[in-house]
A and B are shown apart, each in its own frame.
Chain A
Amino acid sequence: MADLITSDSLIDDKALDTLTKLLNTMIPPSGDRPGAGDPEIVRDLISAAQELEAQVRNVLTLCETHALADVIALKTPDFSAFGALVLQCYYRDDRVMAAIGMEPRSPHPQGYDLEAGDWSLLDPVKARKPFYREV
């Protein structure tokens, strides 16, 4: 996995290993869903982490002295920011999107279908007299 990080000073092999374990603890693999420690998701996360470098580093430092489950349970502000990043990267992975029933694509330009809904529900409201306050 070293190629994952060659251009990135954020993480060395040991930290990468810790990161992967932490991510798989946060979102473990299950059925057709990869874990968040999947190499492709980790790669995306590392490249997206530039602005949160300090927070990611702090979380990894915490992992050196705490069990992974405790790092999660402590809910430090750094971990919250890191957690948001994890969700952002995890739920845009092709395999994850397919597994949760989304097409793996951006919303634009195709957009989405939306059913018209049941307009007969409006009938009782249409029958109501105007009730805004007269002045």
Chain B
Amino acid sequence: MVSPDPVDVLIVGAGASGAAVAYGLAETRMRIVCLEQGGWMNPLEYPSTGRDWEARGDMGISPNRRGLAADYPVNDRNSPISVANFNAVGGSMILYAGHYPRFHPSDFRVRTLDGVADDWPIDYETLAPFYAENDRIMGVSGLAGDPANPPHNPPLPPVPLGKSGSRLAQGFNDLGWHWWPSDTAIATEEYEGRDKCINLGACLSGCAQGAKASTDVTYWPMAMRAGVEVRTHCRVREITVRPDGMAGGAVYIDGDGNEQFQAAEVVIMACNGVGTPRILLNSSSSLFPDGLANSSGLVGKNLMFHPYSLIRGIFDEPVDGYRGPGVCIWSQEFYETDPERGYVRGFTYEINRGNGPVMAAQMGMSQGYVPWGDGHHAGFDSVFNRMTGMVGICEDLPEEHNTVTLDADLTDADGIPAPKIDYTLSDNSRRMLDFSIDRATEVLKAAGAREVFSYAPIPVGGWHLMGTARMGSDPDRSVVNEWGRCHDVKNLFIVDGSIFVTSGGVNPTRTIQALALYVADAMKQRLANLFD
């Protein structure tokens, strides 16, 4: 184990949040190093550059199925929803869809408004300037004027409606329900050196065009030009503590399998809502016997996923099929609580376009529309380019029994205990999922669907990882304070989805990144007395 000179700031994880906090701090000219267990991706090797683009298991969403060197296994057998992520510079954004809504103001006041969960210690207004800065850096496409959201101005025009968007928009209009072109992290015009979207239709396996804003093509190049160092293939095993109870740095395994130590004045965790509690729990010591920063006992508790419903209609007329970014329009008609509906809080519909031929055939088979044998071709023709619909992104409320702990037996390739997920779907979520299916079925029928099918939750849909080191002003009820610093360890910060108090009914990443910029700003404001 070597001990190079301490750096000022050590960031663990180079995904959505790690990149944003690095960029936010770069102007301080401090020495900043980011340790990332994965490497840099080469977009020209992404599946959409090959004929086998629907068959590439190495770019699948489940770390357990991928099993790449950068991956760690996740024991999610005790959960109806399995974890989806990606481990590389850019993090899970390499695979994300780029659906990019903001939280609503009400999302920060859940306890006050609805008597459930907790309020955040910050509000929408606190984050608004950081949302705006993040929108500019990521290059958000969208349309100002959405009546479901506070005013904001996406810098790029929205993605095309296409046939799918137009058809479903007409269904929403017939019912008098809200829809709006989605804000997306997909460049619809050339933007800051990035190419514009050319409708490859393969966003979920990496964007070969570079139009989808993942941090390897947005924040990181800027942060590195400003002097931040990204050290790849370095897997952190634990955060050490000094005798005075402050974080001392990180022990990590480098690309050659050697154990290293990097000392640091400040450590920032950005490993996502599963990776961060895993490392904190693995960093127990005599000073912190239950894991680092865990005097509240809440590290790894309150895991939230966003249970998803999936609803698809089959139409007689062609829709977009394999063409275009999967994201399209959204509806937030049912976003806010209405007691009449039998559950609290709400959800967003994310309208998706369609699928490539393999996925269309598989989906058609799973629903009984496409048989093997004589009827195969007719069945295939009935679904291919004729299937579109939506997912319902349901707010997941925090519950302490939904946890990330360390697995007693399973480890990654470096012997670090794997995370174990214990999660149950709440009754509130179940009722919300059912409601989302019923209303979506009405929309699809109004839009002219000949058949509708649905299921919930999406079993492989654990792509939003939140709540496992929540933010709050009370050290007994939260892990970090209102600006991301651990209550227990004054030079340890967390910036990923772990710090969410509640999950909102939207995809989380725009808020994760705005929070990371906000935490960086809070640190900059307090540089002289950061540890007071």
Residue of B46, B55, B113 near A48 (CB, 8 A) is B55
B518: Cβ under 8 A from any A Cβ: no
> Which chain B residue has the least Cβ–Cβ distance from A84?
B362
A87: Cβ under 8 A from any B Cβ: yes
Chain B residues within an 8 Å CB radius of A125: 147, 173, 178-180
B109: Cβ under 8 A from any A Cβ: yes
B53: Cβ under 8 A from any A Cβ: yes
A–B pairs, 5, beta carbons within 8 Å: A109-B49, A112-B198, A125-B178, A133-B113, A134-B105
Chain B 133-151 interface mask (CB, 8 Å, partner A; 1/0): 0000000000001011110
Could you tell me the distance between the alpha carbons of A105 and B322 in the complex, rounded to whole angstroms? 13
Residue of A27, A128, A130, A134 near B372 (CB, 8 A) is A27
Query: What's the least CB distance linking B382 to chain A, in Å?
Result: 12
- On whether the beta carbons of B106 and A114 are closer than 8 Å, the reply is no
**Given known contacts A117-B161, A126-B145, A135-B109, A72 and B166 CB-to-CB distance under 8 angstroms:** no
- On whether the beta carbons of A114 and B179 are closer than 8 Å, the reply is no
Chain B 185-202 interface mask (CB, 8 Å, partner A; 1/0): 000000000000111111
Chain B residues within an 8 Å CB radius of A3: none
Chain B residues within an 8 Å CB radius of A106: 48-51, 53
**Apart from A131-B178, A133-B106, 4 more pairs, CB < 8 Å:** A125-B180, A131-B147, A132-B332, A135-B109
Could you tell me the distance between the alpha carbons of A85 and B163 in the complex, rounded to whole angstroms? 30
Chain B residues within an 8 Å CB radius of A100: 357, 380-381, 384
B170: Cβ under 8 A from any A Cβ: yes
A124: Cβ under 8 A from any B Cβ: yes
- On whether the beta carbons of A111 and B198 are closer than 8 Å, the reply is yes
Chain B residues within an 8 Å CB radius of A108: 46, 48-49, 198, 200, 202, 208-209
Among B53, B109, B161, B181, max chain A CB count under 10 A is at B161
**Given known contacts A30-B377, A117-B166, A112 and B106 CB-to-CB distance under 8 angstroms:** no
- On whether the beta carbons of A107 and B178 are closer than 8 Å, the reply is no
- On whether the beta carbons of A107 and B161 are closer than 8 Å, the reply is no
Query: What's the least CB distance linking A104 to chain B, in Å?
Result: 8
Which 5 pairs show the lowest CB-CB distances between chains A and B? A117-B161, A111-B198, A91-B357, A88-B55, A112-B323
Chain B 148-182 interface mask (CB, 8 Å, partner A; 1/0): 11100000000011110110011001001011110
Chain A residues within an 8 Å CB radius of B198: 108-112
B69: Cβ under 8 A from any A Cβ: no
Q: List A72-108 residues whose CB lies under 8 Å from chain B.
A: 72, 83-85, 87-88, 91-92, 97, 100-102, 105-108
Query: What's the least CB distance linking B165 to chain A, in Å?
Result: 5
A1: Cβ under 8 A from any B Cβ: no
Q: Interface residues, chain B, CB within 8 Å of chain A?
A: 46, 48-55, 57, 104-106, 108-109, 112-113, 123-124, 145, 147-150, 160-163, 165-166, 169-170, 173, 176, 178-181, 197-202, 208-209, 320, 322-324, 332, 335-337, 356-358, 361-362, 365, 372-374, 376-377, 380-381, 384-385
- On whether the beta carbons of B324 and A114 are closer than 8 Å, the reply is yes
Could you tell me the distance between the alpha carbons of A100 and B356 in the complex, rounded to whole angstroms? 11
Q: List A6-64 residues whose CB lies under 8 Å from chain B.
A: 25-28, 30-31, 33, 48, 51
Could you tell me the distance between the alpha carbons of A116 and B49 in the complex, rounded to whole angstroms? 25
Number of interface residues of A (CB under 8 A): 50
Chain B residues within an 8 Å CB radius of A91: 54, 356-358, 361
- On whether the beta carbons of B150 and A102 are closer than 8 Å, the reply is no
Chain A residues within an 8 Å CB radius of B104: 132-133
- On whether the beta carbons of A26 and B324 are closer than 8 Å, the reply is no
Chain A residues within an 8 Å CB radius of B150: 130, 132
> Which chain B residue has the least Cβ–Cβ distance from A115?
B162
Q: Interface residues, chain A, CB within 8 Å of chain B?
A: 25-28, 30-31, 33, 48, 51, 69, 72, 83-85, 87-88, 91-92, 97, 100-102, 105-119, 121-122, 124-126, 128-135
Could you tell me the distance between the alpha carbons of A48 and B201 in the complex, rounded to whole angstroms? 23
- On whether the beta carbons of B51 and A92 are closer than 8 Å, the reply is yes
Could you tell me the distance between the alpha carbons of A69 and B309 in the complex, rounded to whole angstroms? 34
- On whether the beta carbons of B362 and A135 are closer than 8 Å, the reply is no
> Which chain A residue has the least Cβ–Cβ distance from B108?
A135
> Which chain B residue has the least Cβ–Cβ distance from A75?
B372
- On whether the beta carbons of B105 and A25 are closer than 8 Å, the reply is no
Residue of B109, B165, B200 near A107 (CB, 8 A) is B200
Could you tell me the distance between the alpha carbons of A110 and B108 in the complex, rounded to whole angstroms? 43
Query: What's the least CB distance linking A126 to chain B, in Å?
Result: 6
Could you tell me the distance between the alpha carbons of A117 and B181 in the complex, rounded to whole angstroms? 11
- On whether the beta carbons of A119 and B161 are closer than 8 Å, the reply is yes
> Which chain A residue has the least Cβ–Cβ distance from B371?
A72
Chain A residues within an 8 Å CB radius of B166: 117-118, 121
Residue of B145, B180, B209 near A111 (CB, 8 A) is B209
- On whether the beta carbons of A26 and B50 are closer than 8 Å, the reply is no
Query: What's the least CB distance linking B364 to chain A, in Å?
Result: 10
Could you tell me the distance between the alpha carbons of A111 and B42 in the complex, rounded to whole angstroms? 18
- On whether the beta carbons of B165 and A87 are closer than 8 Å, the reply is no
- On whether the beta carbons of A117 and B199 are closer than 8 Å, the reply is no
Query: What's the least CB distance linking B331 to chain A, in Å?
Result: 10
Query: What's the least CB distance linking B504 to chain A, in Å?
Result: 12
- On whether the beta carbons of A114 and B105 are closer than 8 Å, the reply is no
- On whether the beta carbons of B147 and A116 are closer than 8 Å, the reply is no
- On whether the beta carbons of A27 and B376 are closer than 8 Å, the reply is yes
Chain B residues within an 8 Å CB radius of A92: 51-52, 54-55, 358
> Which chain A residue has the least Cβ–Cβ distance from B381?
A100
Chain A residues within an 8 Å CB radius of B147: 125-126, 128-132
Could you tell me the distance between the alpha carbons of A111 and B102 in the complex, rounded to whole angstroms? 29
Could you tell me the distance between the alpha carbons of A26 and B123 in the complex, rounded to whole angstroms? 57
Chain B residues within an 8 Å CB radius of A133: 104-106, 113, 336-337
Chain A residues within an 8 Å CB radius of B178: 125, 128, 131
Could you tell me the distance between the alpha carbons of A28 and B375 in the complex, rounded to whole angstroms? 9
Chain A residues within an 8 Å CB radius of B356: 91
- On whether the beta carbons of A131 and B148 are closer than 8 Å, the reply is yes
Query: What's the least CB distance linking B203 to chain A, in Å?
Result: 11
Could you tell me the distance between the alpha carbons of A45 and B374 in the complex, rounded to whole angstroms? 21
